Amino acid sequence: MVVLIGIAALILLVTVGISTSAGNQERDMEFRLNRKDIEIAKLRATVEQQQASIKGFVNQRLPGLIDMEFDRVFEVDHPYVRTIAFTNVRTKQNNGYEFRIVLENQTAPIAAPAIDIILFGALGLEIDRRKLRVDRGVNTIEIEILSRGDVRSYVDSFSVQEDAAPAYFLVR
């Protein structure tokens, strides 16, 4: 009987010891996890602050840039551009960008618009450009002369390097 009581006491001590040790390990892991969560929150705040700083610098250096949003119709400040929209088109092999621009002549008897559509990366570096002109040229989309009241749309794509993603655009 004494032996059984001794074994029961030993089992009880071992169980309490294991339980206490497991509780201490759990608290230690929870403390480490909380520390990592705090570090991640600080890093996120730093990244957001740096992104805002870069965006402010880019907008200061290149005024008039518009944040790129895909599948949204933009109205831009240009006398012959009614709207422009961009789409990210992709397949397993390619990732590309298309645009659809709508031109309109509301006032002039005849207009031969010269329009540039420029894509910029997140750092404000130009990554591609398309020109819309009445005559042909390099990277130029040939458009028709617009009579008063004419509305025409054009669709084309950009040739962007694989590692460059547009963040801003400008129509001038």
Query: Is residue 123 pLDDT above 90, yes or no?
Result: no
pLDDT (0 to 100) of residue 102: 98
| Residue pLDDT, tens place only, 56-75 | 777 777 888 999 999 999 99
pLDDT (0 to 100) of residue 25: 83
Residue 149's pLDDT band (cuts 50, 70, 90): very high
pLDDT (0 to 100) of residue 6: 78
- Paired tokens of 52: 């805002």
pLDDT (0 to 100) of residue 163: 79
User: What pTM does this model have?
Assistant: 0.73
Q: 66-67 and 168-171 as β-strands: parallel, antiparallel, unpaired?
A: antiparallel
H helix or E strand, kind and range, residue 111: strand 110-111
Instruction: Provide mean pLDDT across the span 130-158.
Output: 93
pLDDT (0 to 100) of residue 70: 96
Buried b (16+ CB within 10 A) or exposed e, 44-80: eeeeeeeeeeebeebeeeeeebeebeeeeebebeeeb
Single-letter residue type at 11: I
Single-letter residue type at 171: V
Q: Which residues pair with 69 in a beta bridge?
A: none
Average pLDDT, whole number, for the chain?
A: 89
| Residue pLDDT, tens place only, 150-159 | 999 999 999 8
